[in-house]
Amino acid sequence: MAILEVLTIPDPRLKQESQPVERFDSSLRDFIHDLEQTMRSSPGGVGIAAPQVARFERIIIVDVSRKPKIQSHGRLVLINPEILEWQGMEKGREGCMSVPDYTGNVIRAKTIKINAYDESGQMRSYDCEGYEARAIQHEVDHLDGVLFLDRLVSRRTDLFQRKVYSEKSVAKSD
């Protein structure tokens, strides 16, 4: 059990593409344990990707369940994740353990459908939305060497039309 060192910019390894996991063995599970400890040791951390700790394999962990009022699947270990469908767009604010003292606005899909293996090598499928979907998209980007800094939009970029629409639909579901 260990908290791993997190790479921070401008480390060029953060721009590196990660490779698929091929062996689902105990060393993988040990690593996932450490990766999760590392994520939970970061204040406000809701996700982490293996390349952030210099292991260039397609493994991410997301857990947004500590945020109140948010629908989620709880602790998600996603190995070789593949986003199959994207729907809607939403501007939200992101920060990153690998980018200290900076947050910025990024547009992400509102809902996604994703396939991934779990830690025992079982293929699973998830439908995610909102905050959880955003966290997953942020982490999957890390696997491709993409940081939220590569996707920043200005404060002025607004999706007013969509917001009006989504507020109405939220009110309906209440």
Partner 1 sequence: MTNNWHMLTVVGKDKPGIVASISEALFAAGCNFGEASMSRLGGNFTIMLMVQYEGGTERLEKIIAPIAQTLNLRCHINAIEGQLHAHREPDVRISVYGQDRTGIVAHVTGTLARAGLDIYDLESDVGGSGENPVYIMHIEGHAMRGVDALKEALETEKTPGIETHLEEIDTIIG
Interface residue with Zn ion, options 53, 96, 114, 128 (CB under 5 A): 96
Contact flag: residue 131 with partner 1 (CB under 8 A): yes
End-to-end CA distance of the chain: give it in Å, rounded: 43
For residues 90 and 106, is the Cβ–Cβ distance under 8 A? no
For residues 138 and 150, is the Cβ–Cβ distance under 8 A? no
Give Cα separations from 163 to 6, 24, 40 (angstroms).
35, 42, 32
Of 5-13, 79-87, 116-124, 154-162, the segment contacting partner 1 by CB under 8 A is 154-162
Which of positions 45-104 make contact with partner 1 (CB under 8 A)?
Answer: 45-49, 62, 67, 92-97, 100-103
Interface residue with partner 1, options 1, 26, 156, 171 (CB under 8 A): 156
Give Cα separations from 70 to 86, 115, 131, 143 (angstroms).
19, 21, 7, 25
Contact flag: residue 143 with Zn ion (CB under 5 A): no
Q: Give dist(CA 81, CA 136) in Å, integer.
A: 9
Interface residue with partner 1, options 23, 155, 168, 172 (CB under 8 A): 155
**Footprint of partner 1 on this chain (CB under 8 A)?**
42-49, 62, 67, 92-97, 100-103, 131, 134-135, 138-139, 155-156, 158, 160, 163-164, 167
